[in-house]
Amino acid sequence: MGTGATDIPSVTINPTGLLLRWDGREVQWAFLSKNQKLVGHDYIFGSRKVTRISMLPEVVRALKGRYKSLNKVVYAKRFNPSTIVPAIVLENNNSAAEKWFKLHHASSVKDGTRVVHLESVEGEPVFVEGVDKDWDDAVKGVFPQAQAVIQSAALMNVAVGLSRHNHESWVIIVDAGTRGADLVAANCGKGVWSGVTSGGDVEDVLYSVVNALHRADVKPDDVLVKLAGEGLVELESTFKKFFKNVQLLGNSEMEGLKALAS
């Protein structure tokens, strides 16, 4: 992975899109291009540690400088608390979305909320998260056309798709990093749970998942766990102590970032 704004891979292809995400300390990105077989996409990944918030616009501008022509730009915040609300409860009311978010997380929302409606998922769940204004301004200031996505909503789309083809009770996706983890679960085409942990303690991630299962009276043997993110060796070893069906979500640590493209 790149360690500086100038460490973007030198390649000759033209990407069709750019995926971006931020965890409060690091920006990760992926360039998407049509592969030579014209089936799916090839991904070129990179990352940049950010020691000061004021550096965010510089990092994003460097990416635009490398590839000036992009069909689509999508961005998200990692490990950002979100809540799921039935669409019928909100009725396109942003103030209601903010109310539900505050109720679930007992926190103030300084810069408002973002709402993503998963219309393709049974029950049409709505995800709500607080906006990170520094990250929003850094991306939109360079890419005004950029589309904001909620990371947990993107992961839920993946989990729901997997749950339609599995007989397990729940399909759980864990996308972990050094600063936390995004967690979602789906069952038979429905989104049933999402959560987030702060910090990189793997035991805390496991506890959050197990606690959610206990509340829903779901047995560990009836669960398929898909892992993604950094520290996969330790993550997989820890989860296999409790679950018998643990798999990697894909071949890259950045499968969670790739979910933004779906």
Query: What pLDDT does residue 183 have?
Result: 98
- Residue 45 phi, psi dihedral angles, 5° rounding: -100, 155
Instruction: Indicate whether 59 and 93 sit together in one domain.
Output: no
Query: What letter does residue 24 receive in the DSSP assignment?
Result: S
pLDDT in tens, 141-185: 999 999 999 999 999 999 999 999 887 789 999 999 999 999 999
In a domain, 137, yes or no: no
> What letter represents residue 43's amino acid?
Y
Q: Which residues pair with 122 in a beta bridge?
A: 190
Q: Is residue 220 part of a domain?
A: yes
Query: CA-CA distances (angstroms) from residue 172 to 49, 131, 153, 243?
Result: 29, 25, 13, 11
Residues 245 and 174 in one domain: yes
pLDDT, tens digit, for every residue of 31-78? 988 665 545 678 899 999 999 999 999 999 999 988 777 889 999 999
The model carries a pTM of 0.89
Which carries the bigger pLDDT value, residue 55 or residue 15? 55
pLDDT for the residue 11: 38
Q: How large is the angle between the packed helices 202-215 and 232-239, nearest 10 degrees?
A: 40
Q: What is the pLDDT of residue 4?
A: 34
The count of domains in the chain is 3
Q: How confident is the model at residue 5 (pLDDT cuts 50, 70, 90)?
A: very low
Tokens 């749950």, located at residue = 163
**Same-domain check for residues 99 and 59:** no
The pLDDT value recorded for residue 13 is: 44
* pLDDT surpasses 70 at 230: yes
Residue 181 in domain: yes
* Same domain (yes/no): 46, 68: yes
In this prediction, residue 198 has a pLDDT band, given cuts at 50, 70 and 90, of very high
Tell me: pLDDT of 7 over 50: no
